[in-house]
Structure 1
Amino acid sequence: MAKKKLYIAYGSNINLEQMAYRCPTAERVSTGFVENYELEFRRVATIVPKQDSKVPVLVWELKPEDEQRLDRYEGFPRMYRKETIPVKIGDKVVDGMVYIMNDGQISPPPESYYTGILKGYVDNGMDTSYLKVASERAYSHYLSELQEMCVECDETEDIDEDEDDDYDFDEYDDDEEIDPDIDGQTRIDYHSLRM
């Protein structure tokens, strides 16, 4: 009989419905915490090392076929790598496998993705404040990057505010007939095409 493995979920795989679909034979073990890590969004969730922080997690027991299915869903090994890290469950500390994103920049999650994780937090009785803080941090980072880009644009573009002053928008009267053969080009009378 193949050996089962503990899997530490912190993102969308906390959602019970999603895991039932992805890994029908996976068994929920318990909620817990991964210490000295922080939840981060790079559109999708990952965890990053941060001293004196912790991330609420849901621990699953996987059969080898469950892990193979998750590898495909998580984009292993290109998008995520697998590491074995300690997880605290009650008073005990055990080792479990976790997917950690290889690259990427902080970026807010899509609403549907965030909502799916939030449902998992609620269904498992987990503290949603960790999720909200990570999302707010991602949005704050995103907005500060946009502001920096706007400042750079303002510095590099010298826009002449009087640029349009040379053009007289009232020069043509709407009722005035326009020569249909201006500059030798035949103009189509679109009014005659109406049915």
Structure 2
Amino acid sequence: MNTREVIVEDVDSQGDSQQSQDSVLTVIQEERHEVLYFAYGSNLSTAQMRARCPLSTAIGLGFLPRWRWIINSRGYANILPPSSPPSSSSSSSTTTDDDGVYGLLYLLPPRDEESLDRFEGVPHAYEKLRCEVRWVRDGDGKLLAGEEGGGEPVKALVYVDERRTDDGMPAKEYVGRMERGIEDAVRNWGLDEGYANRVMRKWWTKV
């Protein structure tokens, strides 16, 4: 699978958001050394990501339209692809929050990508895909409209378990890590807590 790589110079999530956005978008189409990574599970926690991938940089909130978030039979987060192609009348502007998956976008250098592969258990637990993600909020949590509304379209690396797609019960240790990730994403990156409750936290009652 071809991977489109990106690189920026020292994007600070607390710095000037428009400058950060312009810097990233300028280089997304170039063949460089960093990739965009879409985190939808416990890697919503930037503290966990710093421990796993010290050189990674969070740049904002992303949205993967029409995918579905689950806890799978392994007890960990997974996302399922759309069951059918979108109709000609559908568009990102009419997609509701529950018709897709929110996650955090990171810039990931090659060394950190290799480290993340090990943490994610590639290729036995997860496989690596490239998906079009909507970059919907910048590093300051501000909405990005994009040319067609609904955020800027970007290609991002996504870890997906294509073999274990049945619903399961979350591992007890995983619930705590997910809660830390949700808290971080809600407080610092503009994730809607109502979405987190409806889509993610509903699985905790199965513990």
Q: With structure 1 as the length reference, what TM-score do the two structures score?
A: 0.65
Identity across the alignment (%): 29
| Counterpart amino acid of residue 6 in structure 1 | L
- Supply the distance in 2 between the matched residues of 1:12 and 1:136 (Cα, whole angstroms): 12
Which of 150, 157, 168 is the equivalent residue of 1:107? 168
- Supply the distance in 2 between the matched residues of 1:137 and 1:121 (Cα, whole angstroms): 13
- Supply the distance in 2 between the matched residues of 1:82 and 1:99 (Cα, whole angstroms): 5
In the alignment, does 2:128 pair up with 1:98?
no
Q: Report if the CA contact (8 A) 2:69-2:77 is conserved.
A: yes
Q: With structure 2 as the length reference, what TM-score do the two structures score?
A: 0.61
Looking at secondary structure, tell me which structure has more strand per residue.
Answer: 1
SS at match of 1:106: coil
Deviations 1:57-101 (A, max 9, x none): 100000000100011111111111111101111321101010001
The CA deviation at 1:123 is: 1.5
The CA deviation at 1:138 is: 4.8
Deviations 1:106-153 (A, max 9, x none): 11212331232222222222123444334566578x79xxxxxxxxxx
In the alignment, does 2:83 pair up with 1:23?
no
In the alignment, does 2:180 pair up with 1:124?
no
* Residue of structure 2 in register with 1:45 after alignment: 77
Q: CA distance change for structure 1 residues 103 and 138 in 2, over 3 Å: closer, same or farther?
A: farther
Segments of 4+ in structure 1 off by > 6 A? none
* Residue of structure 2 in register with 1:70 after alignment: 116
Which of 17, 29, 36 is the equivalent residue of 2:66? 36
Structure (1 or 2) with the larger CA radius of gyration: 1
| Counterpart amino acid of residue 121 in structure 2 | G
Q: Report if the CA contact (8 A) 2:175-2:204 is conserved.
A: no
Q: Report if the CA contact (8 A) 1:55-1:130 is conserved.
A: no
Greater mean alpha carbon deviation, residues 24-33 or residues 117-126: 117-126
Query: Any stretches of 5+ residues in structure 1 without a counterpart?
Result: 144-195
- Supply the distance in 1 between the matched residues of 2:202 and 2:181 (Cα, whole angstroms): 20
SS at match of 2:183: helix
* Residue of structure 2 in register with 1:167 after alignment: none
The number of aligned residues is: 142
SS at match of 2:66: strand
| Counterpart amino acid of residue 179 in structure 2 | L
SS at match of 2:198: helix
RMSD over aligned Cα, in angstroms?
2.4
Query: Any stretches of 5+ residues in structure 2 without a counterpart?
Result: 1-6, 8-31, 84-94, 136-143, 145-150
- Supply the distance in 2 between the matched residues of 1:88 and 1:120 (Cα, whole angstroms): 20
* Residue of structure 2 in register with 1:177 after alignment: none
SS at match of 1:124: helix
Which of 40, 43, 52 is the equivalent residue of 1:10? 40
* Residue of structure 2 in register with 1:171 after alignment: none
Which of 65, 80, 86 is the equivalent residue of 2:126? 80
| Counterpart amino acid of residue 61 in structure 1 | L
| Counterpart amino acid of residue 57 in structure 1 | G
